[in-house]
A and B are shown apart, each in its own frame.
Chain A
Amino acid sequence: MSGLRILVGVKRVIDYAVKVRVKPDKMGVVTDGVKHSMNPFDEIAVEEAVRMKEKKVASEILAVSCGPQQCQETLRTALAMGADKAIHVLVDPKDYTNMQPIHVSKLLAKIATDEKVDLIILGKQAIDDDCNQTGQMVSALLDWSQGTFASKIEKKDGTLDVTREIDGGLETINITLPAVITTDLRLNEPRYATLPNIMKAKKKSLTTKKPGDLGVEIKSTQQILSVEDPPTREAGQKVESVEELVGKLKEGGFVKS
C-alpha cells in the first residue's frame, strides 16, 4: 500500500484555554472576538498523517474544513504542519449555525470519493459541540471500516493495526483499507509549524467549494431551544488541618466515625 492518499478533517473551534461565555439571549455562546484555533484532536490527526508521509506510507495529504471564511486560517495551519493541499467547504453563517456532524460527514464522504482517498483521519471529537460522531458517520456512509479513539496506528501488510483507548484499558483491532480513524490524545505530540513552513503554506493549493457543489443540503433536524450556564456550585470552605477535613468527611458519612 505504498502511497496512501489521506484526508484529514480540521475544525476551527474556540481555543481550548478560553472560558466560554453564554450569550444573554441564551441561544449560544459568544464567539465574536474570541480566540479560535484548530480543534486539538484535529492537530493530532494532521500530525499522524504527516508522520505517515514521512515514513513513506502516505503519498499525499488533503486537509478539509467545512465552515465560514475564517476556516481558511485553520487550513493554512494544517498546510504549514505538512498537508499538501486543502479544500475549504465554504458554508454561509446562517447554514453554519444549523450544521450538524451528519452534514459534515456527507461532505467529507463525497470529497473522499471524488479525491480517491484511502484513509480518513479525524479527531475523535470537537471540543465545542463534544459530539464524537463525525468519524463514525463518515465511515458508515462510505461503508468503510472504522478505528475510533486511536492511540497507535501500525501498518501491517495491506491493513492497519489500530490500538484503541476503551473503558478499562486498551484494545487492538485490525482494519482493512479504505478506512476512517479518529484520534485520541495519546496518539502523538503535534509539531509546531515553523515560520518557513508557514510561508511555504501560503503557496500551497487551497480550493473553495460550496456544499451545493458536493450535492449536500444543510437542513437541520435539530433545533436548539436554549444554551445556559451550568449551575454554579456554592462557595466552599477552607479547612485548616487534616483532622478538620476528616471530621467533615465523618459528618458527611464518607468515613466511619
Chain B
Amino acid sequence: MFSRINRLYSVSNKTLLQRFKSTLVIAEHNNEALTPVTLNTVTAASQIGDVTCLVAGENCGKVAEELSKVAGVTKVLVADSAAYKGFLAESLTPLVLAVQKQFNFEYLFAPASAVGKSLMPRVAAKLDVSPISEITGVKGEDTFVRTIYAGNAIQTLKTSDAIKVLTVRGTAFEAAQTSGGSGTIEQAPSVEEKNNKTKFINQEIHKSDRPDLASARIVISGGRGMKNGENFGMLYELADKMHAAVGASRAAVDAGFVPNDMQIGQTGKIVAPDLYIAVGISGAIQHLAGMKDSKVIVAINKDPEAPIFQVSDYGLVQDLFKAIPEMSEQV
C-alpha cells in the first residue's frame, strides 16, 4: 500500500517539478525562418520544463509566429530591432540578461552553433556561472552529458550553478514538431545598453540547393583522396541523385578543394545522418569526432588499412575515381 502511495507521490512530484522549472531557449533564425537546430534545442529544453523562446532579430515577426506553433513552446518573447542585425554577441547579451532579470529562468539553452557558441559563454560570465557546452544528453535537472577529447570520451557532470547555461548538440536530440503548439507571443523587455563596440559588416553564405549539412539525412564527404576541387563534381552528382548534402575532411578544406563551412569534424560541423558516405577519407580522430554517431557509415577508400574501415558498416576497397561514377549510374 505504501509503495503505491509513494509511487503516486513521485509521479505528481515529477509533474510539479516540470511545471516549476523554467527554461529559455534562444532561437536561431535568419529573420525569415527558424534554423532547424532550434527545434532540437526545444526538445532538450522541454525535458526539463516549460519552454519560453526568445526571438531577437530585425523584422522577425514571421519567425515568432512559426515558433509559437512548435510543440512544447508555451511563450515566445520577441525583440525586434535593427540592433540585432548580424546576431552579435555584444548586442544579444544585454537582451538575454534583461530577459533573465525579469523572468528568472533556471535554464538558458541555445543551439551549439556559431551564434550560440559565441553568445552563451558571454552570458554565463556576466551571470558568474559556468556554462556547459554541447550537451548530448539530459540525465536530470542538474546532470548533463557531453563529449570531450574529440568525442573519444563521454563526460557526465553535475552542476550546482543556480542558473544553468547550456548549448545543445542538435544531432543528439530529435527535432520538436513544428505544429501542435500554442505559445503566446509577447514583447521582450527593452534594453538600454547599446553595443557600440562591434559592427556587423557583411556575410558570405555559400548558396547551395542541396540539403543543409547539419540536418541532412544523407551526407557524402570527400577527403584528400579527391585530389582537387573539380573532382568534387563527382560527389555533387552522386549527392543530387541521393538527395544528400556534401561535406569534407579538414585535409580537403586545407588543400582548398572546398570552402571551410563544409568541414566535418572536431573543429568543423558535427553531423549524425542516417547514412554517411566517406570518400577518400582516411578517418583521423578529428574527422571521426564529427561523424561517428551516423547510423550507417560507408567508406570508399583504396587503402584497406585506412582507419575509417574500423568504424564503417560497409567498406569498399576501391579507387574512388572508378567507384563513384559507377555508383552514380546505379542509384
B-binding residues in A (CB < 8 A): 14, 16-17, 19-20, 22, 29, 100-102, 105, 124-125, 127-141, 144-149, 151, 161, 164-176, 179, 184-186, 220-230, 233-234, 236-243, 245-246, 248-249, 252, 254-255
Contact = CB atoms under 8 A, between A and B. Distances in A.
Given A185-B267, A229-B153, A176 B121 contact: no
Contact of A136 (B121, B201, B214, B326): B121
Contact of A175 (B114, B143, B197): B197
Please classify how large the interface on chain B is, using the bins under 10, 10 to 19, 20 to 34, 35 or more.
35 or more
A137 B121 contact: yes
A133 B166 CA distance: 11
Interface of B: 86, 88-90, 93, 113-115, 117-126, 128-134, 143, 146-161, 196-206, 214, 218, 242, 250, 253-254, 259-261, 266-267, 269, 274-275, 285-286, 292, 296-298, 300, 309, 311-318, 323, 326-327, 330-331
Contacts of B161: 221-222
Nearest to B167: A132
B154 A227 contact: yes
Q: Which 3 A-B pairs have the closest CB atoms?
A: A140-B125, A136-B121, A145-B197
Contacts of B126: 140
Given A19-B285, A133-B133, A224-B155, A233 B311 contact: yes
Contact of A145 (B90, B120, B202, B206): B90
Secondary structure of the A contact surface, majority rule = mixed
20 contacts: A16-B285, A127-B149, A131-B131, A146-B89, A146-B122, A149-B114, A165-B114, A167-B269, A169-B205, A170-B261, A171-B203, A173-B199, A184-B260, A221-B159, A223-B159, A236-B314, A242-B318, A245-B314, A254-B275, A254-B296
Contacts of B153: 20, 22, 29, 227-230
B134 A130 contact: yes
Given A102-B124, A167-B261, A176-B197, A222 B133 contact: no
Given A102-B125, A246-B331, A254-B274, A171 B86 contact: yes
B316 A132 contact: no
B149 to A, nearest CB: 5
A238 B309 contact: yes
Given A171-B203, A239-B314, A233 B292 contact: yes
Interface centre among A166, A167, A238 (most CB of B within 10 A): A167
Contacts of A223: 157-160
Residue of A100, A224, A236, A238 with most partner-chain B CB within 10 A: A236
Contacts of A125: 267
Nearest to A13: B149
A125 B267 CA distance: 9
Contacts of A22: 153
Nearest to A231: B154
Given A100-B130, A139-B122, A225-B143, A172 B202 contact: yes
B155 A166 contact: no
A224 B156 CA distance: 6
A172 B201 CA distance: 5
A173 B200 contact: yes
A137 to B, nearest CB: 4
A226 B149 contact: no
B233 to A, nearest CB: 18
A72 B297 CA distance: 42
Between A125, A146, A254, the greatest number of chain B beta carbons within 10 A of the residue's beta carbon is seen for A254
B154 to A, nearest CB: 5
B18 to A, nearest CB: 23
Given A136-B118, A137-B122, A238-B315, A224 B157 contact: yes
A236 B149 contact: no
Contact of A148 (B118, B124, B323, B326): B118
